[in-house]
Amino acid sequence: MKSLVAYYSRSNITEKLAEEIAGKTNADIEEIVPKVNYQGKLGYVRGGKDAMSEKVIDLEELKYNPGDYDVVYLGTPVWAGKASTPLYSYIKQNADKFKNVKFFVTAGGKGFDSTLEQMERITQKPQSTLTLTTKEVKKNEYTLEGFVD
Ligand SMILES: Cc1cc2nc3c(=O)[nH]c(=O)nc-3n(C[C@H](O)[C@H](O)[C@H](O)COP(=O)(O)O)c2cc1C
């Protein structure tokens, strides 16, 4: 089975999961890179605003075509109760290409359900989901069993 892990991560929490999932599933890995700067304090404010308004932004060129994969793992932090703008833009721009999807989402603690719902609305029902707090990821308090095959 051919798998792709496509993720956005502003501060490397979701990235840690992305790399582990890719390692376990032998997947290709696509880091989604926005053409908008979301770093720093200004970037935080911009991120909250853009996520809330479900803005679609330009992304740097992709390495992989999600249509070439049996399953695409989609990873994002929660921004203002929604998927981060870069991941949201990625799924909007590729919605017709996914065969099967799985979602992994990290957050301080709030907004998991609304984020998963938003992602499912754009793509399809995921085969499985994984939601973890920033703290759980940092402290290694999780397992990928049952999420990856
Ligand atoms: C713009 C912005 C908005 C956020 N909104 C939420 C939120 O609504 N709920 C929450 O629990 N955490 C929120 N967070 C925290 C991140 O979801 C959390 O720290 C996440 O694990 C960071 O993942 P990353 O390092 O992969 O970017 C927000 C962070 C940013 C930058």
* SS3 assignment, position 99: coil
* Backbone φ/ψ region at 40: left (φ over 0), alpha (ψ -120 to 50), beta: left
- Report pLDDT digits (tens) over 97-141: 999 999 999 999 999 999 999 999 999 999 999 999 999 999 999
The full set of domains in the chain, from first to last, is: 3-138 (3.40.50.360)
Q: How far is the CA of 109 from the centre of ligand 1 (A)?
A: 9
What per-residue confidence (pLDDT) applies to 149? 78
Residue that the structure tokens 């935080």 belong to:
44
> Cα of 55 to ligand 1 centre, how many Å?
17
What is the pTM for the complete model shown?
0.98
Atom of ligand 1 nearest to the CA of 46: 1
Residue 133 CA, closest ligand 1 atom number: 21
- At a CB cut-off of 8 Å and minimum separation 6, what does 38 contact? 10, 44, 46, 47, 84, 85, 86
Read off the pLDDT of residues 33-82 as tens digits, 9 standing for 90 and up.
999 999 999 999 999 999 999 999 999 999 999 999 999 999 999 999 99
